Structure 1
Amino acid sequence: MKFALFSLSLLFFIPICAQQESDVLMTVGQMEITGREFLQVYQKNLNLVQDDQQRSMDGYMDLFVEYKLKVAEAYSMGLDTLPQYKKEFAKYEDQLARNYIYEDKMTDELVTEAYERGLEELDVDHILMLVGMNSLPQDTLKAYNKIESVRKKALAGENFTQLAKQYSEEPGAKETGGKLGYISVFATVYPFESAAYQIEVGGVSKIVRTQFGYHILKVNDRRAKSPDLVVSHIMVSDRQDAGTVDPEQRIREVYAQFEQGEEFEGLARQYSEDKGSARNGGQLRPFGRGSLRSKIFETKAYQLSEIGAVSGPFKSEFGWHIIRLDSLIPVKTFEEQKEDIKNRISQGNRAKVLTQNLVDRVKDQYGFQRKQSYLEPAMNWVTDSVMKRSWKATPLIRESDPVLFIIGDKPLRLSQYGAYLEQRQKRIKLPTQKGELLTQVYYEFEQLEIERFVKSRLEEDNEEYALVVNEYREGLLIFEVMNRSVWNEARTDSLGLEKFFKKNKKNYRWEDRLEAEIFSASDGTVLEEVSNRLRSGENAEEIRAALNNSDKVKVLYTSGVYEAGDSRLPDSYQMKEGVSSVLSTEDNFVLVVGKSVLPAGPKSLEEARGQVLSDYQVKMEEDWMEQLRKRYPVEIDRQVFDQLKNGMN
């Protein structure tokens, strides 16, 4: 009996919870916010909240109210009507919608296939007979017979490279012999890729049809995908504002010290100007082929053949480097790559497979009918000027404007296809024949209209999508309203900024500073010699010339103004004028020559501008939020809120 009552209570509990979430939790001005929206935002952002007091639902409510007040102000200012906002939101909405439109079993199968193929790289040759997708039947048959004849020769053992040079119609085939080198997933059109991955090494494929024509392929080798690398580096920037030290000279000095036995990590911490990696001994995050902005750096890294190997100094787009290979990272797991592969599938030629699957689902859910062939009426209406990108769609009378297909209750006509073609002709890569162009653009148009229809129903049909897209919609609005009402106001209000600075001047002060020269070396006795030379009147350049040469660098030198606590000054150093004793650090020895001690004191507005501006923006936002609270009354239904909290416990 107790079990029966417990089961009955669950039966009623589920809809009650659902009711609480769908109830209106609060109003901000004229906006109504449901419990479900609050819960979604709270649960998504909980880990980002730094203040422990705001991690509770009561504490987070204050943040949520401020969030919604800003949204209300953005709508009141009409920021949702701005062209730039509409453009940026539409771009995100398209990307998000594709994930929901194509989220099905077919996508998962294609993702799995792409991942498994991506574990290998194939060395491929091919032979091509050119023929368009809409060529005349006799031309298509002629091309097929030619490739079939060449395939028989290849299967009989004739040299594939020579056959490619003799018969292939691919531009440049006589020079390349049809060699593509190593390819992997997404490197070629999908039918070509599929054929390549179905061939054993040394085998010749069946005849493959693509938009370019008929192919046959030969796979010469298969190898595992190159691993990602972990490297450490030391970088000296070659920016003009980076300092007075010659960057090539400095990196060669550092490399000489490494060659003399200094630890790579210590040199990186002390001399690398990539501060993000310097604190980790120079180590960078893992990367793979094609993932860096510097091809030079990537090539140098992949040339290191053994763990621990170190490159010589080289120059990239960012400065001078030496790098060390630390480890090889195995290929990413399926779960790590899944989302990226999904995006690439939806944007590439695999999308045709997804499109057909989408059409099938739309047929079942909304209804989809192709009413008439597009090609004959399009060929009669569209003139040859389309092949010069200059065709203009002339008006069609109703009888000459047939319905091409219907999605749900929405008919799409020839005139709408023509309007799309008129715009698309300006950007598309033109094929050789008009019919081929019309076909390619038609299938783009059909896919686009299907996606538009499904997307137009997503917020109504998919609650999760509706909540996610609304969160992004409001996020863009908040950024714009903050920029207009706080950030830009603070940047342009020079009088207000100066007044704020004067009122809070005590908060902006220098610590003690020192104008100094710093000598460093791995051997303390070298710095003892530097100290003696300084006392005898030699300057820094004379000392470096005496102690360093092309074969060995004993001492490194830098100069500047350093504030108390600067990492370049040893912890044990006390700021003062004159030559210090030789000081030991974690990685080496340091000698400091104090030129002038600048005592602690107030900063000028120019010296503290960055921090003052940040603080002024915080103050402006606080004042602005007080105004918004008066402008948009906030009403919270405490009964609904308490029920939501009980449901979370």
Structure 2
Amino acid sequence: MFRSIYVLICFVVFAATQAQTTDKPVLFTVADTPVYSEEFIRIFNKNLDLVKDESQKDVDSYLELFINYKLKIKEAQAKGLDTMPTYVRELSNYKSQLAKNYLTDTKVTDALVEEAYHRTANEVKASHVLIRLDENASPQDTLKAYNELLKLRDLILKEGFQPVQKEVHNGKTVYAENLGYFSAFKMVYDFENAAYTTKVDDVSMPFKTRFGYHIVLVEDARPSRGERTVAHIMINNKRDDKLEDAETRIHEIYKKIQQGESFESLAKQFSEDRSSSENGGKLAAFSGGQLSSTEFEDVAFGLKNEGDISAPFESSFGWHIIKLLDKSEVADFNAMKSELEARVKRDSRSQLINTSIVNTLKERYNVKDNPEALAYFESIMNEGYFLGSWKLPEDFTAAKTLVVIDVKTVTYGDFGQYLFKNQRRAISRKPFNAIVKENYDAFLNANLILYQEDNLENESEDFANIVTEYRDGLLLFDLMETEIWNASKTDSVALQAYFNANKNKYNWRKRIDADVASSSNKKVIKKAQKMLEAGQSPEAIKAALNTNGVVDVIFTSGIMDKEHQAVTADMSFEKGVSKIYRHDAAYVVANVKEVLPESPKTYEEAKGQIISDYQVVKEKQWLESLEQKYPVKVNESVLKNVKAELKNN
């Protein structure tokens, strides 16, 4: 995961490109290897709005970073990291994955995306009957299943689904199931198609998926639930070190909400989802099926009006209270187009795109069918193919041309090996001409795609640039991991020496061990203050002040610094009971049991930061050594022209 993130960062900061022609102005050289001004200008402009560090927007500062980047690439290549099997394999996988974005049929893709949008915006409620069949079932079994489903279809139309479900469902060979509501991408595409093209209260004709043959009853259709924006207060349900369990605490907070206290203020003070608490508990907007917690999602979509607040409920993450902030319908097409296109290409419907692509490539590369070749392969097939023992004959004409893809010749031998490797002991018996044709189509399609992939760097400049970016990003990660990150973590002697020389950098802030009481009622907090001064415990104070089912005061206990959410920035860190402070929409008072002054951290306490700081120092020293190993020469006259051009842009 970290490797992928690092590579992506390299994309943003140093989007490298293919080597330019030698007639371009050379901005600088690294050990006599030229780096062209055109490359630097393009990358600088590309990333100008992406970098947050203002210093990187200065040409000289950015040039320094870019030179360091080129030095590292030079060192990685010198170490042969670009020949390592793991690197070669990962780059190859990435190129294949990236190529899918370029191997597409726009017309077919656009039609599928528009269809997916309509189905995303509208849900159907359906039930189905499935008769399980192997994909290679015999024609007799297929016809039997088809006819049986025709009979069941008539029964459902006459008697309804439930009687048929009760009669035929066995959970093994026949399934009769209620599926509820669903939308695009929730079912295999063939099933989705049947559900969305069948009218409400009608039953489809039998159709096939990879699971067998189905009929589907469409019971209802409705617009999708859209999107919700909510805020929540969460209490972790693993609270062994707390005063009370999560359920008790969430209900205390809920009581305070019912008493009219601010949801946002309570979220800031008590929610244990730290990613949202500072923002009053607000979460990013989400749509149906997007969250990993169905309990949370169901409650959120169950709230009807903006401002509605749920009762406390439990999910796998803890106890929650939700407030509905906003509700909206499904986003418009343009907002969802990119996401839908990506999903279409991952979905089984992508086969429609692939078929169109293959037909286009056949035309582009002038591929001609070869009936004579297919007839030859039919003639050499035998029963051994069904047993996994089939072999190519001794007089097999391996060198003969099977098909020509542009300038690439594919031979009988290539296809023969494909047939040999793909024979299966469990294959269903089919006529030899069908086996040869199915295998030939798959073989040719794969070779067409592979040929285009192999030539994409020549056919598409954009593809070539992105591949180069990823190639360099992988090299940089492997190099940095070897030279800096791993070395910094394992060199305990150097880390200890760095710590000994820089101990003044690693200190604990001033902290308190305290019980902090919070209440929106100033009279209540004054009572809590007096009870703390009298030496009463938080439990006793809560028992006395939270009466008749009303929660007026909540305590937070533990070691805290000025950044802790329960304390105020101006709170005095002195032993004893503090004065009362205003905190958001509430009041707080603290019983400081102990003041922990600023103090040095031990090596173990500071180790994470020590490693991070030491890596910075080590990288700086390493770059200095690379500059000695690979001398850099900047062409000042070209740099002057570069600055002038960038200034005018």
Pairwise same-fold verdict (TM > 0.5)? yes
Following superposition of structure 1 onto structure 2, how do residues 171-570 of structure 1 map, counting pairs within 5 Å? 176=176, 179-205=178-204, 208-211=207-210, 215-239=214-238, 245-371=244-370, 372-373=373-374, 376=378, 380=382, 383-385=385-387, 391=388, 394=391, 397=394, 399=396, 405-408=403-406, 409-411=408-410, 413-418=414-419, 421=422, 445-548=443-546, 551-570=549-568
Q: Alignment partner of 2:108: what SS?
A: helix
| Contact 1:150–1:167 (CA under 8 A) maintained in structure 2 | no
Following superposition, the deviation at residue 74 of structure 1 comes to 1.6
- Residues 122 and 299 (structure 1), Cα distance of their counterparts in 2 relative to 1, 3 Å cut: same
From 61, 85, 88, the equivalent of 2:87 is: 85
**2:595 corresponds to:** 597
Deviations, residues 369-417 of structure 1 (Å, cap 9, x unaligned): 44344984796376445xxxxx477566462768765433141633342
- Residues 448 and 343 (structure 1), Cα distance of their counterparts in 2 relative to 1, 3 Å cut: farther
| Contact 1:28–1:635 (CA under 8 A) maintained in structure 2 | yes
Following superposition, the deviation at residue 349 of structure 1 comes to 2.1
Q: Alignment partner of 1:323: what SS?
A: strand
**1:158 corresponds to:** 158
Following superposition, the deviation at residue 605 of structure 1 comes to 2.5
Following superposition, the deviation at residue 458 of structure 1 comes to 0.8
| Equivalent-residue separation in structure 1 for 2:129 and 2:565 (angstroms) | 62
| Equivalent-residue separation in structure 1 for 2:101 and 2:604 (angstroms) | 48
From 572, 579, 586, the equivalent of 1:588 is: 586
| Equivalent-residue separation in structure 1 for 2:268 and 2:240 (angstroms) | 21
| Contact 2:131–2:173 (CA under 8 A) maintained in structure 1 | no
Following superposition, the deviation at residue 471 of structure 1 comes to 0.5
Q: Write the letter of the residue equivalent to 1:512.
A: K
| Equivalent-residue separation in structure 1 for 2:261 and 2:26 (angstroms) | 67
| Equivalent-residue separation in structure 2 for 1:458 and 1:170 (angstroms) | 52
| Equivalent-residue separation in structure 1 for 2:152 and 2:538 (angstroms) | 75
Deviations, residues 192-246 of structure 1 (Å, cap 9, x unaligned): 4334333332345456454556555443221111212111111122346875653
| Contact 2:513–2:595 (CA under 8 A) maintained in structure 1 | yes
**2:631 corresponds to:** 633
| Contact 1:21–1:36 (CA under 8 A) maintained in structure 2 | no
Q: Structure 1 stretches of 5 or more lacking a match?
A: 1-17, 386-390
Q: Write the letter of the residue equivalent to 1:222.
A: A
| Equivalent-residue separation in structure 2 for 1:120 and 1:216 (angstroms) | 21
> What CA RMSD, in Å, does the superposition of the two structures yield over aligned residues?
3.6
**Equivalences, count:** 619
Following superposition, the deviation at residue 124 of structure 1 comes to 2.9
Q: Write the letter of the residue equivalent to 2:199.
A: E
Q: Write the letter of the residue equivalent to 1:421.
A: N
Q: Alignment partner of 1:574: what SS?
A: coil
| Equivalent-residue separation in structure 2 for 1:193 and 1:510 (angstroms) | 59
Q: Write the letter of the residue equivalent to 2:117.
A: Y
Q: Which moved more, 1:53-62 or 1:157-166?
A: 157-166
Q: Which moved more, 1:95-104 or 1:637-646?
A: 637-646
| Contact 1:234–1:321 (CA under 8 A) maintained in structure 2 | yes
| Equivalent-residue separation in structure 1 for 2:638 and 2:206 (angstroms) | 66
**1:50 corresponds to:** 52
**1:10 corresponds to:** none
Q: Alignment partner of 1:368: what SS?
A: coil
| Contact 1:129–1:168 (CA under 8 A) maintained in structure 2 | no
Following superposition, the deviation at residue 439 of structure 1 comes to 7.7
| Equivalent-residue separation in structure 2 for 1:394 and 1:30 (angstroms) | 56
Deviations, residues 57-77 of structure 1 (Å, cap 9, x unaligned): 443222211112111122222
**1:14 corresponds to:** none
| Equivalent-residue separation in structure 2 for 1:339 and 1:210 (angstroms) | 27
Following superposition, the deviation at residue 284 of structure 1 comes to 0.5
| Contact 1:128–1:168 (CA under 8 A) maintained in structure 2 | no
Q: If the length of structure 1 is used for normalisation, what is the TM-score?
A: 0.84
Deviations, residues 256-284 of structure 1 (Å, cap 9, x unaligned): 22222211111100001111100110010
| Equivalent-residue separation in structure 2 for 1:398 and 1:31 (angstroms) | 54
Q: Alignment partner of 2:307: what SS?
A: coil
| Equivalent-residue separation in structure 2 for 1:378 and 1:60 (angstroms) | 66
- Residues 144 and 475 (structure 1), Cα distance of their counterparts in 2 relative to 1, 3 Å cut: same
Q: Write the letter of the residue equivalent to 1:109.
A: A
| Contact 1:132–1:433 (CA under 8 A) maintained in structure 2 | no
Following superposition, the deviation at residue 596 of structure 1 comes to 2.1
Following superposition, the deviation at residue 463 of structure 1 comes to 0.7
Following superposition, the deviation at residue 150 of structure 1 comes to 6.4
Q: Write the letter of the residue equivalent to 2:161.
A: T
Following superposition, the deviation at residue 493 of structure 1 comes to 1.8
- Residues 506 and 209 (structure 1), Cα distance of their counterparts in 2 relative to 1, 3 Å cut: closer
Q: Which moved more, 1:184-193 or 1:20-29?
A: 20-29
| Equivalent-residue separation in structure 2 for 1:243 and 1:304 (angstroms) | 31
| Contact 2:126–2:216 (CA under 8 A) maintained in structure 1 | yes
Q: Write the letter of the residue equivalent to 1:181.
A: G
| Equivalent-residue separation in structure 1 for 2:164 and 2:25 (angstroms) | 70
Q: Write the letter of the residue equivalent to 2:192.
A: E
Q: Alignment partner of 2:422: what SS?
A: helix
Following superposition, the deviation at residue 640 of structure 1 comes to 5.4
Q: Structure 2 stretches of 5 or more lacking a match?
A: 1-19
Q: If the length of structure 2 is used for normalisation, what is the TM-score?
A: 0.84
Q: Write the letter of the residue equivalent to 1:328.
A: K
Following superposition, the deviation at residue 459 of structure 1 comes to 0.9
**1:388 corresponds to:** none
Q: Write the letter of the residue equivalent to 1:71.
A: I
| Equivalent-residue separation in structure 1 for 2:393 and 2:59 (angstroms) | 60
| Equivalent-residue separation in structure 1 for 2:501 and 2:107 (angstroms) | 63
| Contact 1:28–1:634 (CA under 8 A) maintained in structure 2 | yes
- Residues 139 and 528 (structure 1), Cα distance of their counterparts in 2 relative to 1, 3 Å cut: closer
Q: Alignment partner of 2:280: what SS?
A: coil
Q: Write the letter of the residue equivalent to 2:512.
A: L
